[in-house]
Amino acid sequence: MKILTSILALSFFCAPLSGAADEFTTIFDGKDLSKIKTAGNWKIQKDGSLFLEPRPGEKGWSRYGSYLWLKEDYKDFVFDFEYKHEKGGNSGLYFRIYDETDPTAHGFEVQILDCFGKKKLGQHDLGGVIKTAGPLANGSKPAGEWNRMVVTMKEGRLSVVLNGKTVQDKLDLA
């Protein structure tokens, strides 16, 4: 039986902010994983999304090494992607990682967590930046629905828009 951990959308894009919109780089187009490295058992689905299928014995945090790493580094960027998760789902978007052996200790994480309907939000809730700031609003959709997150880093300031709601607004991470 497949256990749904997280699914990434048909495509996600990253762009340096120094130039025009035509400088966007497609990181994953639903077919090609050549700009990504991972030790995880990620599978491209018929709809072009990615699915993390646990191998025998992998469950919970034992999939910890299943990160998707970009092969190229970006200083300032816009990262636009869609995802969905099961009830209780927990993931994150890590960036500015300087030690891939322990990304939770050596960089920033925008939390992806099932928080639909939650009133009081903190750093470990959807759109929060771990060890830094909770989200400004709850933009979560119910488990099983697609969510769109746009993460923008410009000159050391982070903005995150989740399903059209601003959840981080030029947070200073310099």
User: Environment class of residue 168 by beta-carbon count within 10 Å: exposed (0-12), middle (13-18) or buried (19+)?
Assistant: buried
The pLDDT of residue 60 is 65
Mean pLDDT for each consecutive 10-residue tract of the chain (174 residues)?
38 52 77 88 89 80 73 86 87 86 85 92 94 94 94 94 97 91
Residues 110, 96: Cα–Cα separation, whole Å? 11
The pLDDT of residue 61 is 59
The pLDDT of residue 97 is 85
Residues 136, 113: Cα–Cα separation, whole Å? 15
The CATH code that applies to domain 7-172 is: 2.60.120.560
The pLDDT of residue 135 is 97
The pLDDT of residue 108 is 92
Domain layout of the chain by residue ranges: 7-172
Give the global pTM.
0.82
The pLDDT of residue 107 is 87
The pLDDT of residue 21 is 52
What are the pLDDT digits (tens) for 57-89?
Answer: 877 655 657 888 888 888 888 889 999 888 888
Residues 89, 3: Cα–Cα separation, whole Å? 11
